[in-house]
Structure 1
Amino acid sequence: MARYKSYSQAQSMFIPVRFDEQIIPGTFVHAIDHLVDNELDLSIFDKHYSNDKTGAPAYNPAVLLKVILYAYSLGIISSRRIASCCECHVTFIALAGDTRPHFTTIAKFISSYGQEISVLLTRVIAICSMEGLIGKKMFAIDGCKLSSNASKEWSGTREDFDRKKAKIEKSIQLILKKHQAQDKGGDEGSDMTAKEKKAVKSLKKKADKIQAWLDEGKEKIGVQGKPIQSNITDNESAKMATSHGVIQGYTGIAVADEKKQVIVHAEAYGSSTEHLFLKDMIDGARDTMNLAEGDADALEDTIITADTGFHSSDGLEWIEEERIKAYIPDNQFRKRDPNFATADRHKRPIDKRKTVKKAKYFKASEFVYDPEKKKLICPAGNELYVENSNFKDQKGLKGITYAAKKTDCRVCELRAKCIRGKKVEHRHVTVFTNTMRQMDTPISRMIKRFDTPKGRFWYSRRMGTIEPVFGNIRGTLGLNRFTLRGRDKVDTQWKLFAMVHNIGKLARYAWC
């Protein structure tokens, strides 16, 4: 039988440690150490300190930046855990020079120096460019929805919070009335238990929290000028629908270069409406590359790709004005793509997860046009008359609007499958006479440009450019949720992770 030397990790050892020997050349740790000490100008932090003559010496920003970047690369986001690692983990101790910063100092550095972190990220991008990691042939834009440090339970409009407060107060009264009835009846042991007292205290705390928010009146207003859901805990975050359900969070948007998937610009926004930020992201990437390379327009020959979430009339109009070479599809582009013509046969025959929803009401396509009578026939066999022969929607699409007779709809057996509202008297159907391709608008011109072999080629490269970035940040670096509150602080955290991602590219492809 083979024999092996026994080993145990449950033991301590006193050994002399040279900090510089713990930072091994060619590793990610060495890349961080070299970058911070030799490539980044940290004098931008000096304005935040006024202890040149009096006061205690501050922790060196280089130390704080090193330990934060290294911790983020390991998926350690908590300031307390980072501070703990600086006391007991050899690599952290070596990076910090055994200075052991307190967790409050680390937390303040992350949450308070957003502008400085943005400048440092630009410098890291410039270094990536100098090392030949940015090709500028194609940039891909996309967003990643991440949970915030706030519960969606505390989201709603002012009316929602009024109802919630009334419901909580009603629950408190029910508990109190229950014990008052027991006291009058002379029941023994009618005193409130510790659990019930705790419940009443918790409910009162929630009611007070809602009332405090209602008194301040910080209701959010949407793009259309109407009130939208606010959040009491973090009012700059938003409710977002994701593939894993609805979350309360932020959208981290990034622009990545095709060559090595280096992030050239990153921003976090408290909204899931991505097309609102297309201009900001392209301008941000252009400004960053101009600063990095010193060009007047570093993106003059760069192709921009983005998914359907960034497709909008205003955004495409701005792209045309700026003469940007972009390919941004609408949400119907796969239906026009011949490569997806046989996609239905690859779908599962039985929808076990019940992801496909059956249409509840008759579609416009189920109304048949009679060329002899020049009228539309509904599924019940009744005729619809022409109500508006010059219909035009907001996108510029033209069509003919037909309307059913009120007397027909009133007694129709199929009314429940045809008309949505109870107050609606009869059905209207619009048959469009043109398509977006036939129009001369920014959207139609983008559709024509996208529905070409060249357009589909560049869009096919989008996923392989930007999705690995989010896969690395979420899967490898472990950013599954933002730990800070407020858009500025969340944006700083998102930029720090973008910096870690780019330093990883330098360590792997340039400084290895």
Structure 2
Amino acid sequence: MSCHIQGQDRSQVTLFPEALDDFVTEDNPIRVIDAFVDQLDLHSLGFLRTKAKSTGRPGYHPATLLKLYIYGYLNRIQSSRRLEREAHRNVELMWLMERLTPDFKTIADFRKDNGKGIKNACRTFIELCRSMNMFSEAVVAIDGSKFKAVNSKQNNYTPQKVRAHIERFEKHIEQYIAQLDQADAADFHREDEVTVAQKISWMQQRISELRIIEDQVNRHPEKQVSTTDTDSRLLKTKGMTRQVCYNVQSAVDTKHHLIVAHEVTNTNDRGQLTHVARLAQSALANDEITVIADKGYYSRQDIKAAQDTGVTALVPKGDTSGSEKNGFFNKSLFRYEQERDLYTCPAGQELQYRFESLEKGQALKVYFNGAACRDCSIRAKCTRSKKEPRKIRRWVHEDEMEDMERRLQAAPDTMLIRKRTVEHPFGTIKAWMGSTHFLTRRFKNVSTEMGLHVLAYNLKRMLSIMGTENLLRALKE
């Protein structure tokens, strides 16, 4: 007679074998977590309470809680309460934590208090990867991605938004007062007049609160205030929508897709190239790296500053000029001759260098040909001015930007490489997070949370690249 597979009797003395280690196979990734944390010098990395006090109730060693968090972020379990539950029922965690079961407050406080140590642990893992010769090509792609903050749109205020709220409440108060006046004129008193008066009182109180917020917004350098998470900002996301979020910058190795450096910001991408490139240089212990970024990072001064540090930058230039839309010749139609230091205009006339000027902190060389421009038959397509000739301004370091453009033209797949490199980690981490926001607030805590995401991501990538046994062997060498 056939039957189904039968389980063990729950009333037996023990369901587990005598050794918990029997439940964890030799190729289980948690052995890598255990080996990695055990070889860290947690005290020098900045973790607190690495040395137990001689008095008082004993606490948990930071290594235990770090292992718990790495396991949690590697398995999409980020909240302290869920980690507490898993420690009681998850056999892998029982093995990893030697059957210790800290409460959620202890778990949450560890993440809050050890931001420096977690950040350094993330950096140490990249150093281990570097020692394994994972970054031999020294090419990284840089990009930023918006991650939702705890702060909702409703609790973010701009001058226009707070003024609109105040005007709306003032209009409602006027309407309610008019209703009361009508009731008094008709000598008709209703029971709900008390309710109306209470509503008016509440709205007046709300207006007072909004005026305080309005003052804060107007005094804020960015003219924006978030009341729940004060470091978060309303930023443009994909599809030109706006969301209260953080912009996480990352530098990703093009060969193995490892995140070599990252930083949490609350600004847009422009102006971030040099800073993130320096973080990547430090992580790779190599100044002569190649950095790829999209046109959102194009800033001539920023690119120049990055290249002065030894970076080879590859950033396409976006055409932000409105000349073509307005029916005028775009600057790109004026051909520059480096040997003669002049421009040739669409009419075939030569525009000579005349003088140098300083505009918005930039040293610019100015080119024009007054005589040729005055008698030009297509002048109307070149300038609106009836007296002044068309002037072309050239940055004194423009030759470096042109060299970069030539490097990009010689490598047409550069932007494709950037896309498939740097967008992969962001997509993976957001999938792990789910359709949600950061669990913490403020730069310090959000940076710690992101550091755990990056450490878990890099660990998973290395497991995929090397396999558990090889990575374990490398960590123990």
TM over 0.5, shorter chain: yes
CA deviations over 1:156-186 (Å, ceiling 9, x no partner): 3456435534534654675687689779733
Q: 1:440 aligns with which of 387, 398, 421?
A: 398
Partner of 2:189: 186
Asked if 1:240 corresponds to 2:235, the answer is yes
Answering whether residue 453 of structure 2 is matched by residue 497 of structure 1, we say yes
Distance across 2 between alignment mates of 1:209 and 1:96: 49
Deviation digits for residues 20-51 of structure 1, max 9, x if unmatched? Answer: 33443323322212211234535645655786
Alignment partner for residue 408 of structure 2, among 450, 459, 474?
A: 450
Q: Which amino acid aligns with 1:316?
A: I
Q: CA RMSD in A?
A: 4.3
CA–CA distance in structure 2, aligned partners of residues 437 and 475 of structure 1:
43
User: Is contact 2:68–2:83 with CA below 8 Å preserved after alignment?
Assistant: yes
The amino acid that maps onto 1:233 is T
| 2:246 counterpart of 1:250 | yes
From 233, 239, 259, give the equivalent of 1:263: 259
Alignment pair present for 1:282 and 2:282? no
Residue number in structure 2 paired with 1:96: 97
CA distance in structure 1 between the aligned counterparts of 2:64 and 2:213, rounded to whole angstroms: 39
Secondary structure in structure 2 of the residue aligned to 1:364:
coil
Residue number in structure 1 paired with 2:62: 61
- Does 1:231 pair with 2:193? no
Question: Hey, what does 2:325 align to over in structure 1?
Answer: 363
Match of 1:220 in 2: 220
Read off the aligned partner of 1:363 and give its amino acid letter.
Answer: K
Using structure 1 for the length normalisation, give the TM-score: 0.69
Name the CA distance, whole Å, in 2 between partners of 1:189 and 1:38: 71
Task: Give, in whole Å, the separation in 2 of the partners of 1:483 and 1:229.
Answer: 22
CA distance in 1, matches of 2:21, 2:182: 74
| Corresponding letter in the other structure for 1:243 | K
Asked if the contact 1:254/1:266 (under 8 Å) is kept, the reply is: yes
- By how many angstroms is 1:189 displaced? 6.5
**Counterpart amino acid of 2:129?**
C
Q: Once the two structures are superposed, what CA deviation does each residue of 1:243-301 show, in whole Å capped at 9, x if it has no partner?
A: 25211101111111122111111101011x213221211111222223xxxxxxx232x
| SS in structure 1 of the partner of residue 270 of structure 2 | helix
Instruction: Determine the structure 2 residue equivalent to 1:466.
Output: 422
SS in 1 for 2:261: strand
Cα distance change of structure 1 residues 366 and 318 upon mapping to structure 2, 3 Å threshold: closer
Contact conserved, 2:273 with 2:306, CA < 8 A, in 1?
no
One-letter code aligned to 2:398: D
Partner-residue secondary structure (3-state), 2:123: helix
Offset, 1:433:
6.3
Counterpart for residue 485 of structure 1: 441
- Structure 2 match to 1:84: 85
Correspondences of 1:197-208 after superposition (within 5 Å)? none
Alignment partner of 2:287 out of 268, 290, 299: 299
SS of residue matched to 1:255: strand
Distance 1:12 1:110 in 2: 40
C-alpha deviations, 1:173-217, integer Å up to 9, x for none? Answer: 756876897797333576649xx98x8898688656545545767
Match of 2:145 in 1: 144
Q: 1:189 to 1:268 in 2, by over 3 A?
A: closer
CA drift at 1:124: 0.5
- Give the whole-Å Cα distance in 2 for the aligned partners of 1:472 and 1:459: 20
Q: How many residues align structurally?
A: 420
Query: Per the alignment, do residues 442 and 71 of structure 1 end up closer, same or farther by CA in structure 2, a change over 3 Å counting?
Result: same
- Does structure 1 conserve the Cα–Cα contact (< 8 Å) formed by 2:159 and 2:218? no
**Quick one: which amino acid aligns to residue 419 of structure 2?**
M
| 1:319 counterpart residue number | 306
Rounded to whole Å, the distance in 1 between the matches of 2:255 and 2:177 is 67
Identity %: 21
1:5 aligned to 2:25?
A: no
What residue in structure 2 maps to residue 134 of structure 1?
135
**Hey, what does 2:155 align to over in structure 1?**
154
Letter in 2 for 1:70: Y
1:324 and 1:52 mapped to 2: Cα distance? 48
Whole-Å Cα distance in 2 between the matches of residues 490 and 101 of structure 1? Answer: 23
TM-score normalised to structure 2 length? 0.73
1:508 aligns with 2:470: no
Change beyond 3 A, Cα 1:506–1:208: farther
Partner residue, 2:22: 21
User: Counterparts of 2:25 and 2:176 in 1: how far apart (Å)?
Assistant: 64
Q: d(CA) in 2 for partners of 1:162 and 1:12?
A: 69
Distance 1:21 1:182 in 2: 82
In structure 2, the partner of 1:341 is none
State the SS of the aligned residue for 1:450. Answer: helix
Aligned-partner residue type, residue 277 of structure 2: I
Shift of 1:109: 2.2
Structure 2 residue runs without a partner (length 5+): 330-353, 374-383, 470-477
CA spacing shift, 1:252–1:205, aligned 2, 3 Å: farther
CA distance in 1: counterparts of 2:101 and 2:395, whole angstroms: 63
Question: Is the contact between residue 37 and residue 67 of structure 2 (CA under 8 Å) also seen in structure 1?
Answer: yes
Q: What stretches of structure 1 of length at least 5 have no aligned partner?
A: 223-227, 291-297, 334-358, 368-389, 403-426
1:116 partner amino acid: G
Retained in 2: the 8 A contact 1:234–1:485?
Answer: yes
Instruction: Sort the Cα spacing of 1:442 and 1:66 in 2 relative to 1 into closer, same or farther, 3 A.
Output: same
Deviates more, 1:478-487 or 1:170-179: 170-179
Change (3 A) 1:55 1:172: farther
Q: Which amino acid aligns with 2:188?
A: G
- Please say if residues 141 and 466 of structure 1, whose CA atoms lie closer than 8 Å, have aligned partners that are also in contact: yes
- Is residue 316–residue 446 contact of structure 1 (8 Å, CA) maintained in 2? no
Could you say if the C-alpha distance between residues 93 and 436 of structure 1 is closer, same or farther in structure 2, counting changes exceeding 3 Å? farther
